[in-house]
Amino acid sequence: MQSSSDTGGDRTADPFAALVHAVRSSLPQPTTNLTHVSPEIITAIQQALQQPPATTTTSSAASASPVARPATYSGAAEDCSGFLLQCSLYIEANTHLFQNERGRVAFVISLLSGRALQWAQPLWETNAPVTTSLSTFFAHMKDVFGHHTAELSVHDQLYHIHQGEESVSMYALRFRTLASTSGWNETALITAFRHGLRREVQQLIVVYDDTMGLENLIQKTIRVSQRLYASHMNTPAVNPLPASTSVAAPAPVPMQVDSNHLTNAEHLRRMNNRLCLYCGGDGHVISNCPVRPPHPARKPSSTLGRLGTSLAPKSSKN
């Protein structure tokens, strides 16, 4: 039989030793029949056995977050609002990870890099008041990196935006990004969108009224530009005449220039800009184009000549 000192040592080493000892004490000494174990002891055993799995399940559920960790932020004005939004979503979805406001601010600072980190470092090291409140820290970040600088930049970019050599789809993507944070009304945005397009695209969408709305206008402009590009791809190139040709080919009449050499888009562009249909220059029209070969005057046909002779009055002979 074990001594009392051994029993005390077992109770210290094993957390369930005291519970086992209590069970043994409640049993009649001559027998080991468990029918006389009190219900309270059985309940205590069940609770002790079930407690660790319950803790593990709770910990696993808490560690699973449906919101991704935000990417680092280096101080770009156009990315400031999006970064702060992602931080807010992550903190809200993982409140169990942050014990106080300063811990939340510390998490945001841990995601900074470059000049943004250089700005935040002295604030944290000196325990500045803005580091004690997440909302105050966010407002200060917007003042430094986002609000005023981005607003001026967006307005300036929208005022000077141009399509250049990029496709209408890429131009529309840039325009939509700027328009979403500009605060401009739809009429001003439509005017800016039209103004930034290339001249030939502007002329093709002149038939669309502004009342259709900005998004519908953008969609129609993209489709029109795709058709224009397809027509250019399907139009065969015109080969110039060899320099050694001894006999010059007769110059085509204006309608031949339009039908044989100019695409519909180019013809429309020259008409709208009042350019010469023959050479594309300005300041004159095709009838007095300086580079167009002159056309010889048409001679009356022999039939008309004879008819004119027969109808002429005959002089009487005296």
pLDDT (tens digit per residue) in 256-309: 444 446 777 787 788 888 788 777 778 777 777 777 776 655 555 554 455 455
Is residue 296 in a domain?
A: no
Note whether 230 and 165 are same-domain residues.
yes
Coil, strand, or helix at residue 16? coil
Q: What confidence score (pLDDT) does residue 162 get?
A: 94
Inter-residue contact 195 to 214 (CB < 8 Å): no
Note whether 57 and 84 are same-domain residues.
no
> What CA–CA distance (Å, rounded) separates 163 from 190?
14
Question: Could you give the percent of the chain with pLDDT greater than 90?
Answer: 38
Residue 218 vs residue 61, higher pLDDT: 218
Strand partners, 73: 112
Q: What confidence score (pLDDT) does residue 141 get?
A: 92
Show the CA angle centred on residue 303, arms to residues 299 and 306, nearest 5°. Answer: 100
Is residue 242 in a domain?
A: no
The answer, yes or no, to whether residue 10 has pLDDT greater than 50, is no
Q: What confidence score (pLDDT) does residue 58 get?
A: 45
The answer, yes or no, to whether residue 18 has pLDDT greater than 60, is yes
What sign results for the dihedral spanned by CA atoms 156, 160, 161, 166? negative
> What CA–CA distance (Å, rounded) separates 235 from 264?
11
In the block, tokens 């005449």 appear at 241
Per-residue pLDDT, averaged over 210-221, amounts to 94
Q: What confidence score (pLDDT) does residue 296 get?
A: 56
> What CA–CA distance (Å, rounded) separates 147 from 309?
91
> What CA–CA distance (Å, rounded) separates 72 from 75?
10
- Could you count the other beta carbons within 10 Å of the beta carbon of residue 193? 22
Per-residue pLDDT, averaged over 84-100, amounts to 93
Name the domain count of the chain: 4
Is residue 135 in a domain?
A: yes
Residue 57 vs residue 115, higher pLDDT: 115
> What CA–CA distance (Å, rounded) separates 151 from 200?
31
From residue 207, alpha-carbon distances to 192, 203, 210, 228, 252 in Å are: 17, 8, 10, 15, 31
Is residue 261 in a domain?
A: yes
Note whether 98 and 142 are same-domain residues.
yes
Band of residue 54 on the pLDDT scale cut at 50, 70, 90: very low
Note whether 52 and 84 are same-domain residues.
no
Inter-residue contact 13 to 21 (CB < 8 Å): no
Per-residue pLDDT, averaged over 160-186, amounts to 91
Note whether 139 and 185 are same-domain residues.
no
Could you say which DSSP state residue 281 is in? -
Q: What confidence score (pLDDT) does residue 107 get?
A: 96
Is residue 304 in a domain?
A: no
Average pLDDT, the chain: 76
Per-residue pLDDT, averaged over 14-22, amounts to 66
- Could you count the other beta carbons within 10 Å of the beta carbon of residue 112? 19
Q: Which domain holds residue 260?
A: 256-288
Residue 245 vs residue 177, higher pLDDT: 177
Is residue 212 in a domain?
A: yes
Q: What confidence score (pLDDT) does residue 49 get?
A: 60
> What CA–CA distance (Å, rounded) separates 232 from 288?
29
Which residues are CB-contacts of 94 (< 8 A; sequence separation ≥ 6)? 65, 67
Q: What confidence score (pLDDT) does residue 256 get?
A: 41
Note whether 132 and 96 are same-domain residues.
yes
